[in-house]
Amino acid sequence: MVAKISIGSSLYGALAYNAEKMNEAHGRVLGANKIVLPADGNINIGAMAENFKAFMPRMGRTKKPVLHISLNPHPDDRLTDQEFEILAREYLDKLGFGEQPFIIYKHEDIDRHHIHIVTVNVNEQGKRLDQSFLFRRSKKITTELEEKYGLHKAQREKVSPDTPITKIDPNGDIKRQVQNTVKLVGMRWQFQSIGEYNAILGLYNVRCEMTDGKVNGREYHGLVYFATDDNGNTIATPLKASRLGKFASRTAIESKFERDKEKIDIKSTKRQVSDAMAAATGKDDFIAKLKEKNIDLALRYNADGRLYGVTFVDHNNHVALNGSRLGREFSANALNLWFNDPTAKPQVQQQPRQLQGQQSQGQQSPPPGGGQQTSEQSQPNQPQQQPRQKPSHSDDFDYSPVLPGLELFQTGPDFDPAEEAFARRARKKKKKKGRGL
């Protein structure tokens, strides 16, 4: 049996979560302590919250007084409602919360039925209960209960970089599936924006949205995750990042954006996309040729049906890249024109496949300035020209080009007597000055 403990500040939020399961006919109340339960079974969240507050001081220093605990037996353990309640009460007694106000819910939204417990960790005097080694003590208690009642040993599922990522199963544990997907995508993939992040998550029927606003005058910036079907429709209650773990938070994801900017190399992906575009005849053919190269194309359209976002998801390099990062010809605007007009296909510049400076045998590269070829690049059977040398000092003259067959009659540098006399005087002054020093 696996116990998961969440410590928080929102009593209403914990009660509302369980009440929602009841409203969806996926949960019911099994029992409570010091909490008045209505005879008709219609739970009023506000009245229940007041019951809890009656046993809590109005002014307390504990910032997170709420405990939300889930007890998850092995799938092979089929327990009755009474057995679930007995386990919950004995677990709380051993943990030291048996005399606290609490309420026990049973959830049946997945095949593995389990229970949730909402309680508080402060007494009527406002003193916080002992929480030292809480998780360690909880693990010891669940092991004792497994041995006492002959239950199967259930271990928390471990996620490693090699764990396969699968699409969300609507009949499974939605929260756990979203949690694993977000964790594995963060461990395995590289991305630099929320659009690229969503392009990867969308492959597994998960969507992420940023939330910004103010509560009681304080700004908040967070993320909310949604489980979807193959058409992108939401199939379950949205999950705040705080319910999944720190790895899913906005701070963690934005930090990853910055780290991945330094790691991502687009050359390989750009070459594959360029080859696919050069050979494709249209949208469907382009998508098919990318699929052959193990690259998915995520397209985002606005309400008017215009393409406004393009992301290439490269499974070979585990990287997602918006089209504009690869080049203008791969941007949403360029692809939108092409998809609507086959004659407006972007011109693709083929990526070089050899090291810079390497040339195939027999090929010559043009001179940088587009001018005449040097003697090494001249055509066969033509006399070679002397290379034009760069002047070594300011008094040098430019050499005139040598005319083939007329070397003996070539003109030399012009001679100016006045210039020569001035140069001699300058050299003499320099020598006298040197001797004087």
Q: pLDDT digit string (tens) for 67-84?
A: 999 998 887 888 999 999
Residue bearing the bigger pLDDT, 376 or 129:
129
In the predicted model, what is the mean pLDDT of residues 230-236? 91
In the predicted model, what is the mean pLDDT of residues 295-313? 92
Compute the distance between CA of residue 42 and CA of residue 14 in angstroms, rounded to an integer: 17
* Helix, coil or strand: residue 173: coil
Compute the distance between CA of residue 290 and CA of residue 271 in angstroms, rounded to an integer: 11
Look at residue 49 in the predicted model and tell me its pLDDT.
Answer: 86
Ranking 6-20, 242-256, 349-363 by mean pLDDT, the lowest is 349-363
Per the prediction, the chain carries an average pLDDT of: 80
Structural domains of the chain, ranges and CATH numbers in brackets:
2-149 (3.30.930.30), 175-263 (no CATH), 267-344 (no CATH)
Compute the distance between CA of residue 41 and CA of residue 227 in angstroms, rounded to an integer: 30
With beta carbons less than 8 A apart as the criterion, state whether 208 and 225 touch: yes
pLDDT in tens, 17-33: 888 888 777 788 999 99
The enclosing H or E element of 169 equals none
Ranking 64-78, 193-207, 310-324, 366-380 by mean pLDDT, the lowest is 366-380
Nearest one of 203, 188, 163 to 260, comparing CA atoms: 188
Ranking 84-88, 110-114, 339-343 by mean pLDDT, the lowest is 110-114
Decide if pLDDT at 1 tops 90.
Answer: no
Ranking 153-162, 174-183, 329-338, 428-437 by mean pLDDT, the lowest is 428-437
Tell me the pTM.
0.55
| DSSP letter for each residue of 150-200 | TPPP--PPP--TTSPP----TTS-HHHHHHHHHHHHHHH-B-SSHHHHHHH
pLDDT in tens, 128-139: 888 889 999 999
Compute the distance between CA of residue 274 and CA of residue 326 in angstroms, rounded to an integer: 9
Compute the distance between CA of residue 243 and CA of residue 224 in angstroms, rounded to an integer: 10
Nearest one of 317, 320, 326 to 276, comparing CA atoms: 326
Compute the distance between CA of residue 151 and CA of residue 84 in angstroms, rounded to an integer: 12
Nearest one of 224, 196, 227 to 211, comparing CA atoms: 224
